[in-house]
Amino acid sequence: MTEHDEHRAWLLQRRVLPQHTDHAGVMWHGAYVAWLEEARVEALQTAGLAYADLAAAGLELPVVSLTITYRQALLHGDQVELRSWVLPRQGVKLPWISRFLRAGGELAAEARVELVLIDRSRGPNQHRLLRRTPDALARAIDRLVAGPLAQRGPQQVIT
């Protein structure tokens, strides 16, 4: 992502708590995955589609690919900003790029997550990969790609 794309970043702020760390106070790798999931669910909600509503309609967005590159350890007590960007769909995949930044802006980790859309409304053993996105979800994905500032419109300066 470039500085030009910063306005499209979805933000999630968290503090590394004891339950996120190993015995040495270093953030456990599974906590990164949980925060990535939380960031996706919150961004989808802000874009106008609650994940619970998606699931109630029999649709799921499972992860099919996940890579995390660790640059610096996050430690107990660190304040972290997770910046995420949704890229346009690539075939059936919906890619997300995320960066974990320390309070001073230092890059701690980068992640790429790819999701696919499945329909499970026909029963628990009847999953079907959807190549065409339902209209409501397609609109939400367009809003996700545009970023959070597009949801609010132009910023107003109050004097």
Residues of the chain with pLDDT > 70, as a percent, come to: 92
CB 74, CB 114: distance < 8 Å: no
Dist. CA 40–CA 26, nearest whole Å: 24
pTM given for the model: 0.87
CB 93, CB 75: distance < 8 Å: no
* CA 93 to chain CA centroid, nearest Å: 14
pLDDT of 6 reads 78
**Tens digit of each residue's pLDDT (9 = 90 or more) over 49-80:** 889 999 999 999 999 999 999 999 999 999 99
Query: Average pLDDT for residues 42-49, to the nearest whole number?
Result: 90
CATH T-level assignment (fold) for domain 3-150: Thiol Ester Dehydrase; Chain A (3.10.129)
Instruction: Locate the domains of the chain by residue range.
Output: 3-150
Return the active site residues: 22
- Which residue, among 39, 100, 94, has the nearest Cα to 65 in the 3D structure? 94
